[in-house]
Structure 1
Amino acid sequence: MNFDRIPMSRRNLLKTAGIGLLAGGATTACSNQEKKTAPAGIIGKDGKRVLPWSNWSGNQNCQPNERWVPKNEEQLLDAIRGANQNIRAVGSGHSFSGLVPTDQTLLSLARLRGIENVNPETMEADVWAGTRLSQIGKKLWKHDMSMLNMSDIDTQAFGGALATSTHGTGKDLGTLSTQVTQLRIADAAGNITECSANNNADLFNAARNNLGALGIVTKARIKTDKAYYLKEHSWMMSKDEGLERAEELRDKHRHYEMYALPHGDYMLGISLDKVEEKDIPTEPPKASGDAYEAFRLLSNVIDYAPFLRAWLVNMGASGVEPETRYGKSWEIYGNLRDIRFNEMEYTVPAEVGPQCLREILDTIEKQNIPVVFPIEARYIKGDDVWLSPFYQRDGFAISCHNFHDKDYKKYFAAIEPIFWKYDGRPHWGKIHSLDANEFAARYDRFEDFKRIRQEMDPDGRFLNDHLRYTLGV
Structure 2
Amino acid sequence: MTWRNWARSHRAEPSVVLEPTTIDGVRRAVERVRDAGGTLRPVGTGHSFSAAARPDDAQLDLGALTGLVSLDLARRRATVLAGTTIRECSALLAEHGLAIDALGDVDAQTIAGAISTGTHGTGILHQSIGASVVAATLVTADGGVLRVSETQRPDLLPAVRLGLGALGVLVDVTLQAVPAFALEAVEATVGLEPVLDDWMGLLRRTDHFEFYWFAGTALAVTKSNTRCDGPLQPRSPIGRFVDERLLTDLGHRALLTIGALAPASSRILNEVAARGMARGRFVEPSHDVFVADRSVRFREMEYGIPVEAMPAALREIDRALRQADVVPTFPFEIRAIGADDALLSTAHGRDTAYIAAHRWWREDPRPLFDLVEPILLAHDGRPHWGKLHSLRAEQLAERVPGFSRFVETRDELDPERRFASAWTRRVLGA
Residue 60 (str. 1) matches residue 10 (str. 2): yes
Partners of 1:64 and 1:113 in 2: CA distance? 23
| Distance change >3 Å, CA 314–CA 409, structure 1 → 2 | same
Structure 2 contact 56–422 (Cα < 8 Å) conserved: no
Residue 71 (str. 1) matches residue 21 (str. 2): yes
Matched residue, 1:226: 179
Partners of 1:282 and 1:175 in 2: CA distance? 26
- 2:244 is aligned, of 278, 289, 312, to 289
Matched residue, 2:81: 128
| Distance change >3 Å, CA 154–CA 322, structure 1 → 2 | closer
Residue 453 (str. 1) matches residue 420 (str. 2): no
Q: Comparing 172-181 with 282-291, which one deviates more in the overlay?
A: 282-291
For 1:269, what is the secondary structure of its paired residue? Answer: strand
| Distance change >3 Å, CA 120–CA 302, structure 1 → 2 | same
| Distance change >3 Å, CA 281–CA 55, structure 1 → 2 | closer
> TM-score with structure 2 length normalisation?
0.94
1:407-457 CA-partner distances (Å, limit 9, x unpaired): 101110111100110000000010011111111101232111111111111
- 2:364 is aligned, of 398, 407, 411, to 407
Residue 179 (str. 1) matches residue 136 (str. 2): no
- Which residue identity is paired with 1:422? H
Structure 2 contact 269–329 (Cα < 8 Å) conserved: no
Shift of 1:326: 1.8
Structure 1 contact 295–372 (Cα < 8 Å) conserved: no
Shift of 1:292: 5.7
For 2:41, what is the secondary structure of its paired residue? Answer: strand
Write out aligned runs for 1:300-379 (5 A): 300-315=257-272, 317-318=274-275, 323-379=280-336
Partners of 2:249 and 2:200 in 1: CA distance? 26
Structure 2 contact 233–284 (Cα < 8 Å) conserved: no
Residue 217 (str. 1) matches residue 174 (str. 2): no
- 2:116 is aligned, of 163, 167, 179, to 163
Matched residue, 1:264: 217
Q: Where do 5+ consecutive residues of structure 2 fail to align?
A: none
- 2:208 is aligned, of 226, 243, 255, to 255
- Which residue identity is paired with 2:179? K
1:102-157 CA-partner distances (Å, limit 9, x unpaired): 24110011111111222221111101110000011111111111111111100001
For 2:244, what is the secondary structure of its paired residue? Answer: coil
Amino-acid identity (%): 29
Shift of 1:61: 0.3
> TM-score with structure 1 length normalisation?
0.86
| Distance change >3 Å, CA 320–CA 415, structure 1 → 2 | closer
CA RMSD of aligned residues (A): 1.6
Specify which structure has the higher proportion of helix: 2
Shift of 1:255: 0.3
Partners of 1:292 and 1:434 in 2: CA distance? 33
Structure 1 contact 296–403 (Cα < 8 Å) conserved: no
Partners of 1:432 and 1:445 in 2: CA distance? 19
Matched residue, 1:200: 153
| Distance change >3 Å, CA 319–CA 133, structure 1 → 2 | closer
Shift of 1:200: 1.4
| Distance change >3 Å, CA 322–CA 211, structure 1 → 2 | closer
Structure 2 contact 216–327 (Cα < 8 Å) conserved: no
| Distance change >3 Å, CA 128–CA 311, structure 1 → 2 | same
1:184-237 CA-partner distances (Å, limit 9, x unpaired): 111100111111244313321111110000110111111111111111110001
- Which residue identity is paired with 1:77? R
Structure 2 contact 234–282 (Cα < 8 Å) conserved: no
| Distance change >3 Å, CA 144–CA 369, structure 1 → 2 | same
Q: Where do 5+ consecutive residues of structure 1 fail to align?
A: 1-50
- Which residue identity is paired with 1:385? A
Structure 1 contact 236–322 (Cα < 8 Å) conserved: no
Q: Comparing 95-104 with 132-141, which one deviates more in the overlay?
A: 95-104
Shift of 1:321: 6.2
Structure 2 contact 19–63 (Cα < 8 Å) conserved: yes
| Distance change >3 Å, CA 282–CA 417, structure 1 → 2 | closer
Partners of 2:112 and 2:58 in 1: CA distance? 18
Shift of 1:283: 7.1
| Distance change >3 Å, CA 263–CA 460, structure 1 → 2 | same
Shift of 1:315: 4.7
Partners of 1:444 and 1:411 in 2: CA distance? 28
- Which residue identity is paired with 1:439? L
